[in-house]
Structure 1
Amino acid sequence: MDEDTDDETPEDEEDDESANEYTDDEDASWKVRRAAAKCLAGLIVSRSEMISKVYQEACPKLIDRFKEREENVKMDVFNTFIDLLRQTGNVTKGQTDTDESSPKWLLKQEVSKVVKSINRQLREKSVKTKVGAFSVLRELVVVLPDCLADHIGSLVPGIERALNDKSSTSNLKIEALVFTKLVLASHAPPVFHPYIKALSSPVLAAVGERYYKVTAEALRVCGELVRVVRPSTQSMGFDFKPFVHPIYNAIMSRLTNQDQDQEVKESAITCMGLVISTFGDELRKELPSCLPVLVDRMGNEITRLTAVKAFAVIATSPLHIDLSCVLVSLIAELTGFLRKANRVLRQATLITMNTLVTAYGDKIGSDAYEVIVVELSSLISVSDLHMTALALELCCTLMTGKSCSENISLAVRNKVLPQALTLVKSPLLQGQALLVTCSARIFEALVYHANTSFYTLLDSLLSCAKPSPQSGGVPKQALYSIAQCVAVLCLAAGDKNCSSTVKMLMEILKDDSGTNTAKQHLALLSLGEIGRRKDLSAHAGIETIVIESFQSPFEEIKSAASYALGNIAVGNLPNYLPFILNQIDNQQKKQYILLHSLKEVIVRQSVDKADFQNSSVEKILALLFNHCESEEEGVRNVVAECLGKMALIEPEKLVPALKVRTTSQAAFTRATVVTAVKYSVVERPEKLDEIIFPEISSFLMLIKDGDRHVRRAAVAALSTFAHYKPNLIKGLLPELLPLLYDQTVIKKELIRTVDLGPFKHVVDDGLELRKAAFECVFTLLDSCLDQLNPSSFIIPFLKSGLEDHYDLKMLCHLILSLLADKCPSAVLAVLDSLVEPLQKTINFKPKQDAVKQEHDRNEDMIRSALRAISSLDRISGVDYSHKFKSLMADMKRSERLWGKYQTIRNE
């Protein structure tokens, strides 16, 4: 960005008059300045680890160059600064701006200077300059959402001029509106209250523009303006009433105009929903004329989805808007939508109906409810769990509402309950559907509000676990789902019913001969689920009965018994924890199962933030550390998880104890304590973070340990920290990254040949370690990009991975796609070197005698490589790579490859 001594200009190098207008840049060359801006942009996008240095040394000069006299050069300066802002967003994703060396903190120090310089540009006559200035401000708000709180007053005049000036183009108005919408959404409402009048006038005028894109954007700004004018129904000391009718009238004029673009129609509907929801108490006279228009828009296939969502917003309003004039027709329309093929429309309809029933249930007739229940029963299916969850939630709302009648309850029992019971038996049941069903809201509601017998429902649930001649045994996941339903149903039915159910389950475990493993399995899981929610110590001998199930020859029964014992202990820790610890010490053959029980206890305590007694902590730790050197990997993993979760409960004791063992002579112990640290990392802030921060290097530097198991554990721990707590490891990355990259390289000493008689088999013991290392790099690229130099990783490490094992190639294709998106210049610089391994992959053909599985794997590999090629093809300047152009030409000549590639491009 330094100035040169050449005095030519792009317009007229010999124009004396122009020369006289030059200020302190009189001897500067526009070509040099433009080249310098482009060079700096290349550095920014390719060397993300230098972002902080760019802020310290180049950013002030870049901001100074906003005053550049040559418009083309000025646009390049703006674009370079935008690249800097975007890269800052990329490399600091999820990070705070409190670290004084972080790019975000450094950018925050320059905000005042940026705004001051941009304000000068917004006063320029050039439309192109003003568009560029708003682009800079927009990117600034994206990276630092609340950074303009102290500068709104100085920016408002620029927005007004952009929207009001007769010389303003549509592009300028759109840029100004997009920025206004962003800044309104990202700052606290009180910041804008002194300027609402100045902002609202030009925005409402823009709603009446002829060009549909300007109108649509202005309507979106109005939506944000509504939230700012009245952020809550409680008084905030700001008089919003003068703005209600001007906003309403502007939007209503667009809502009632049929002859306009779809984007404008949808924006008007959405905005009117917000207006009614926010200002409904001030628009009582207007509602009878406005609401029917919104209902009418539900009859139009183009606008019905938007109108359905608008009514969801209105129904959730704390103002309890009066919908009596349209409620009957609204419910009828929505019920009809449940039969439509459009899945998105059905989902939005279920959400809207749920909000309407919650807010206006007593005003909706029971006949309408019965029709709704019939429609809901057809939507409950394992083929669409999200839709099922929404349908079940609406059923619960119908039964728990004030207007629930015997007819509605009967309809739910006859139509919905059989579907719910079928659903519970599915191994696919998970996520929201599991939360709704297995929290037993549907069964709970039937017991409480539908007068359904508890024992009838319980028998129905237990019957779900019986194997059928057609489908055979019940899947393991289904048993967990049924057990959770049984537990919550028992608790909902009262202590007496719960106690009798526990006794019945204990009898099953006592009397069952072991022939019906599903029955025993479900009984154990149900006891565990009930015990986790309720103290079962009143049932004498329950722990002994569960322990006896450890004798079962079936692994699933042992696992269920372990789960049950651990969860029962949670209900009464002082009573059951000593029992479990003594059992672990005394039962050598059952230690692995009992450790799982202990894990259930510790995990639950770490979640609930409960503390153990000091004596228990010491005994638990002694027991766990005794098992760190177990020959069984499963035992070591359970011990590591227990230690990790204990660290969340007692960090002051655990961290020093774990650190001491990083220097143990036993490799298994070193690996176990590093894995324990991995299990201690959780997304939420913990007291552990500040205690472990100074000691992290003791664990992660084991990445250079002589044992591959320890190195793999350290890589896994680094990956976990990078994902959940990147700020804790950033200072260590310069030292860790070379060690991590070294783990991605094939080590010949880890490859061995196993003699299997007639043939020999090559085993690569380093494969899992290399896979873990590449996975860790992928995570670091996403969370700590500012600490990485992608160029030093791509060659030779990524290139080596693209030529490695099948699993590693797939992973490297993902990494390459990520790099192409975030660091295109770094990839472009070495693109020729990456073409060859990609070309070999897409042209590879399995042997003629290869089995179907090998052919399928190869097809997956080819598609993966083509996705990476597609990402590379989107890089600006990729045409400069002759090898890549040749690769694309070869693909076009292959009908098979080109067809797959086109399909991937259109995904």
Structure 2
Amino acid sequence: MAATTAPAIPPNPTAHHVASLLPKLQDVDPDIRYMSLNDLNQMLTLGHPTFISHDYSTCARVVEGLLHTLNDQNGDVQNMAIKCLGPFVNKAPETILCPTFDKVSNLRTDNAVDSSVPALAVRAMVVALPRPAPAVPRTQKVQEAYSAVSRALIPRLVGYTVIPTGKNLPAPPKGMIQVEVETGIDSNALDVLVEVARCFGPMLQEAEVEALQKVTAEVLENPRCSTVMKKKAVTALSVLAPYFSDALLSSVVSHSIESLRQAHLTPAQRRLYLTIFASMARSIPRKFGPYLRTLAPFVLSPLSEQELDQQNEEAAESDEGRDPQVEEVREAALLALESFLASCSQDMTPYIPEVIESCLRFAKYDPNYAADEDDDMEGAESDQEDDFDLDEDFEEETGFDDEDDVSWKVRRGAAKLIHTLIATRGSGDLLDSGVLYEKIAPALLSRFQEREESVRLEVLSTLAFLVKKTGEISSTPSLRRMSSATGPPISRKRRRDSSFSSERPQFSLSNGYTSPSTPPPQGGPQVSLSAVNPQIVQGSAKLLKSSTVPTKHAVISLLTDLVTAQHGGLSKRIDQVIDPVLDAMKSTGGTSGGASVTNNALRIESLRLLRVVADTHSSKVIEPYLAKIMPALTTVSKEKFSKVSSEAFDTIQVYIKALTPPRSAGSKQQNATYLQQIYETVTQRISASDTDTEVRQKAVQSLGLLIGRTSGTQGSALLNQQSRLAGLQLINDRLRNELTRLASVRAIETVAALAQSSKEFTPEWVREVSLELGAQLRKSSRTLRGASLAALKRMAVNPACRENMDDETVQKIVQLLLPLILLDQDLHLIGPALVIIGSFANERPQLVLSDEVINAYCFVAKMDLSGAALDALLGSLEVIGKKGAGKNLMRSLLSEVGVNGNPELVGQVIGILLVAGGNTVGVTLADFEAELKSTTDEKRRCLALYILGEAGLRMGPSFPYGPDMFTSYFSNSEKVSLAAAVALGRAAAGNVSTYLPQIQSSMSQGKQYLLLHTIKELLQHTAAETEVIKY
């Protein structure tokens, strides 16, 4: 038994190992031939790059063995032989590549069933060879590979020697593609040509490109060649096109035009040339674009009114009816225009009006449908109510099936062309001028009654895309309006007051505190969209009542885009869509796998629409429909399919905001009922053992939002205290579970940020949760650390939570925060950590300011902080100073930091502590003034200047020194003079009316460079803005 076991493949095979396998390729047993080829393939793949390159004899025998197995009667053996050719040509010497190409391409497959094996084998060789890469020097291997392709393969494809070698070699046999042209049999030789162009195109010489183009053109023009072969030839032409010379490209285009002008041109030939133009536009848009001036009329011609009328007359007179090939020409013309617009948009600008007319003409083109389509547009303009009176037979028409009717391809092509037109021109002229809404939108709306589903889906997708484009263009001003309504924008400038008071309002806004309303359209596209809104909603409602699942999905997606683009828009018509959308959301559909997936996608899209509606409409608008919406949402949230139930909880969160104050005016008892339903559903899904992890995480976040939003006197009537405490305990339990820990942390952050009363928590819960959050700060996950710190910050900043913490808890939390500052040195985490310490210091300064905390402040003061971290440092120091607890800290800052840190930053730190602490910090302004005058050390003088400048900023008009104290140091060294200029700017920001006039008058006395630094620093402070404007 051991003797018959096949030996394992050696890790470092040699030519001897390869040679030992070759006799087995002649074995009568096909399994042995197959396994031997498999072993050969592995050896060639594993072997060293040169392991057979010096053994020409073995390589020649490998070629003979592979040729024999390529002609095998067993298909698996043939396939494995083809697979071996790739690694072989990469390991074989350059001298054997040409003979191999020659022998494989000339292989006669008398024994094999498949005649395409030689071409498949050659293609495998070409793909495997080393090829040129952009911006990479060409290696010798690449040059050798191209040389073999040029000398052996290209002559075999075209049937003659393209680049003369200077040797008297026999002429190559008839070309592989020539044989295809003569026989009309596709042997995959064109696939070889495509790979030659794709892999070695940049290295092909002009004569080779011309030869390959010529043989490709022969395939295109030969009537014996099949449609499949011509499609491959079109692909080959587009792959070759980037390497055409200008003369060759001009010749190809001119030849095509001459062919299109022939009187006896058949529809099939016309379609072929249109397809060629489309592929070349995609392949070489920059070079091909200028030719559109000549070619566009030929492409637009099949779509003209004149040609349509002529063909209608011919069809009416003919007994055979319409020629399907004519419809295919129109489809090809529409696809060509789509390629022109997508690839050569600027060159198509003169033809946009004709393109639009063609789109409108063929979007409704349905010659076999009895309904009169001619008055669609008039109806859209004259009678809004009748726009979408779909035929009573719509359901029957949906099932219309006629094998000879291919007009639906034309309508679909027109819809796709409109989509491309919007994509390429929808961000500028056509949208702003109103053309897209005056002409295109009514045409799309009229096709809501389309009987062919693929066309109907394309129409809905295109209209949704137009709506989305409108929303994108209008989003920036809309966001600006929204921000002006909800509060001032976030400023990068420094504020004189660095307290933490702004934390809560910003978080409240982000949690939907304001009840949204649809803003009035601001002109242009938004006005146009508002005008067609009624028709879109009306048509969508009818389709939702009587359509297939894919159509309903497309309609709901369109409505979602509409609501998003208008930031509302359904206030007056929400009653038309709510019931159909809820039906779609609840539908379970078919039992097959495909039907289930489609139905779930529909349900998810329905949930998204409900979410967007609640997010963009006031609570008053959705209130009448809550009795239907809320039970449906709670039902879907229990769905077994996790994607649906997860989406349901995202939607539930938005409705929690809509049902709770201040968005929902007053505490309505009905709202309490809905919220209690949500509470029970959420807690049940969190506790259930069969709940998916993602769903449980979303449920935890929903519970946190529910508890947070029902805080305060108004909210307490919506959720009783017993449920609140049980919910909080559930979140605490999930905090200890690794899978739901991050979601629980974020839920706690929401609860802490929105809490309004300390009585809503038990002290045990607050202490337990805060310490658990502190323990997460040492975990490896940066996301978890950041979220835990953010939640802890909310608890520390909000008095409702902070009041429930005892001294022991505060001390433990502070100890857990110190490693973040001293060890991690992560600026994103240092800021929140300092905010927490400052919040605790506001009530328990002596407890918080231990020696370790003071050392941490000194450590941070030596860092180069900026932005939020610097604001947090200064804010916490201000709190400590105001509480009269800054003496020890000031002593440490002066002795341990002093001139060892960045003087500008240390000056800000000491300056704010000095002003906030007043007489309690052990030093005064006079001490720093004396230091400034007495010291000769450059660093000490700079530090004193920065401290006095910061003090001037904080003290304002009560600052006892004038500008002269700073300007007197403008003549010192560069560092001191720059420090004086910056310090003067900070002091000026605190007292603009006193400082700025003197600064302006000093500008004419020289020192402009330093005073510009002063003004630059002055303008960095928001508090000075209103006073600076006067000057």
CA distance in 2 between counterparts of 1:353 and 1:87 reads 42
Matched-pair contact (CA < 8 Å) for 1:347–1:390:
no
Deviations 1:593-646 (A, max 9, x none): 2343345556658953126xxxxxxxxxxxxxxxxxxxxxxxxxxxxxxxxxx5
Greater RCO, CA 8 A, separation 6+: 1
With over 3 angstroms needed to count, the CA separation of the structure-2 counterparts of 1:23 and 1:132, relative to structure 1, is closer
With over 3 angstroms needed to count, the CA separation of the structure-2 counterparts of 1:591 and 1:445, relative to structure 1, is closer
Matched-pair contact (CA < 8 Å) for 1:38–1:80:
yes
CA distance in 2 between counterparts of 1:228 and 1:349 reads 27
With over 3 angstroms needed to count, the CA separation of the structure-2 counterparts of 1:560 and 1:499, relative to structure 1, is farther
**AA in 2 matched with 1:430:** S
1:308 aligns with 2:745: yes
**AA in 1 matched with 2:779:** K
2:969 aligns to what SS in structure 1? helix
- Percent identity, please: 26
With over 3 angstroms needed to count, the CA separation of the structure-2 counterparts of 1:87 and 1:574, relative to structure 1, is closer
Matches within 5 A, 1:149-548: 149-167=571-589, 169-232=599-662, 235-236=665-666, 238-239=668-669, 240-279=671-710, 281=716, 282-318=719-755, 320=757, 321-324=760-763, 326-357=765-796, 358=798, 359-381=800-822, 383-401=825-843, 404=844, 406=846, 408-409=847-848, 412-427=849-864, 429-439=865-875, 441=876, 443-449=877-883, 452-454=885-887, 456-463=888-895, 466-467=898-899, 474=901, 478-494=902-918, 501-513=924-936, 516-535=937-956, 539=960, 542-548=962-968
Match of 1:610 in 2: 1027
2:761 aligns to what SS in structure 1? coil
Match of 1:2 in 2: 361
1:316 aligns to what SS in structure 2? helix
Tell me how far 1:350 sits from its aligned partner: 1.9
Aligned length: 582
Tell me how far 1:28 sits from its aligned partner: 10
CA distance in 1 between counterparts of 2:922 and 2:952 reads 11
Matched-pair contact (CA < 8 Å) for 1:425–1:479:
no
**AA in 1 matched with 2:1003:** I
Deviations 1:822-881 (A, max 9, x none): xxxxxxxxxxxxxxxxxxxxxxxxxxxxxxxxxxxxxxxxxxxxxxxxxxxxxxxxxxxx
**AA in 2 matched with 1:461:** L
Deviations 1:201-254 (A, max 9, x none): 211111222212111111222211211122339852743122232222222221
With over 3 angstroms needed to count, the CA separation of the structure-2 counterparts of 1:384 and 1:42, relative to structure 1, is same
1:518 aligns to what SS in structure 2? helix
Match of 1:810 in 2: none
1:563 aligns with 2:982: yes
With over 3 angstroms needed to count, the CA separation of the structure-2 counterparts of 1:6 and 1:227, relative to structure 1, is closer
Match of 2:970 in 1: 550
Deviations 1:318-369 (A, max 9, x none): 4532335634432342232122222221222222223334323333232222
With over 3 angstroms needed to count, the CA separation of the structure-2 counterparts of 1:430 and 1:318, relative to structure 1, is same
CA distance in 2 between counterparts of 1:56 and 1:230 reads 42
With over 3 angstroms needed to count, the CA separation of the structure-2 counterparts of 1:462 and 1:108, relative to structure 1, is farther
CA distance in 1 between counterparts of 2:762 and 2:448 reads 54
Deviations 1:27-58 (A, max 9, x none): 99322211111001111112222323322321
With over 3 angstroms needed to count, the CA separation of the structure-2 counterparts of 1:25 and 1:489, relative to structure 1, is farther
Match of 1:85 in 2: 467
**AA in 1 matched with 2:979:** A
**AA in 1 matched with 2:908:** Q
CA distance in 2 between counterparts of 1:140 and 1:552 reads 65
TM-score (normalizing by structure 1): 0.59
Matched-pair contact (CA < 8 Å) for 1:269–1:307:
yes
With over 3 angstroms needed to count, the CA separation of the structure-2 counterparts of 1:595 and 1:279, relative to structure 1, is closer
Matches within 5 A, 1:566-645: 566-585=985-1004, 587-588=1005-1006, 590-601=1007-1018, 607-610=1024-1027
Matched-pair contact (CA < 8 Å) for 1:64–1:117:
no
Deviations 1:487-518 (A, max 9, x none): 22122123x579963322222332232xx222
**AA in 1 matched with 2:736:** G
1:128 aligns to what SS in structure 2? helix
- Is 370-379 or 326-335 further displaced after alignment? 326-335
Matched-pair contact (CA < 8 Å) for 2:992–2:1024:
no
Tell me how far 1:143 sits from its aligned partner: 2.1
Match of 2:415 in 1: 37
Matched-pair contact (CA < 8 Å) for 1:465–1:479:
no
CA distance in 2 between counterparts of 1:5 and 1:370 reads 78
With over 3 angstroms needed to count, the CA separation of the structure-2 counterparts of 1:577 and 1:74, relative to structure 1, is same
Deviations 1:456-489 (A, max 9, x none): 4334334466455xxxxx4xxx322222222221
Match of 2:241 in 1: none
**AA in 2 matched with 1:91:** I
Matched-pair contact (CA < 8 Å) for 2:398–2:453:
no
With over 3 angstroms needed to count, the CA separation of the structure-2 counterparts of 1:395 and 1:569, relative to structure 1, is closer
Matched-pair contact (CA < 8 Å) for 2:950–2:983:
yes
CA distance in 1 between counterparts of 2:1022 and 2:394 reads 76
CA distance in 1 between counterparts of 2:780 and 2:398 reads 67
With over 3 angstroms needed to count, the CA separation of the structure-2 counterparts of 1:457 and 1:43, relative to structure 1, is same
CA distance in 2 between counterparts of 1:352 and 1:5 reads 61
Deviations 1:666-724 (A, max 9, x none): xxxxxxxxxxxxxxxxxxxxxxxxxxxxxxxxxxxxxxxxxxxxxxxxxxxxxxxxxxx
**AA in 2 matched with 1:275:** L
With over 3 angstroms needed to count, the CA separation of the structure-2 counterparts of 1:370 and 1:553, relative to structure 1, is closer
Match of 1:723 in 2: none
CA distance in 1 between counterparts of 2:980 and 2:523 reads 52
CA distance in 2 between counterparts of 1:355 and 1:602 reads 32
Deviations 1:107-142 (A, max 9, x none): 233222211111111112411111111111112223
**AA in 2 matched with 1:110:** V
Matched-pair contact (CA < 8 Å) for 2:701–2:747:
yes
1:214 aligns to what SS in structure 2? helix
Of 103, 116, 124 in structure 1, the residue corresponding to residue 546 of structure 2 is 124
Greater CA radius of gyration, 1 or 2? 2
Tell me how far 1:71 sits from its aligned partner: 0.9
With over 3 angstroms needed to count, the CA separation of the structure-2 counterparts of 1:606 and 1:538, relative to structure 1, is closer
TM-score (normalizing by structure 2): 0.53
RMSD: 3.3
CA distance in 2 between counterparts of 1:213 and 1:512 reads 70
CA distance in 2 between counterparts of 1:105 and 1:193 reads 27
1:285 aligns to what SS in structure 2? helix
Q: Tell me, which stretches of 5 or more residues in structure 2 are unaligned?
A: 1-359, 370-392, 479-518, 591-598
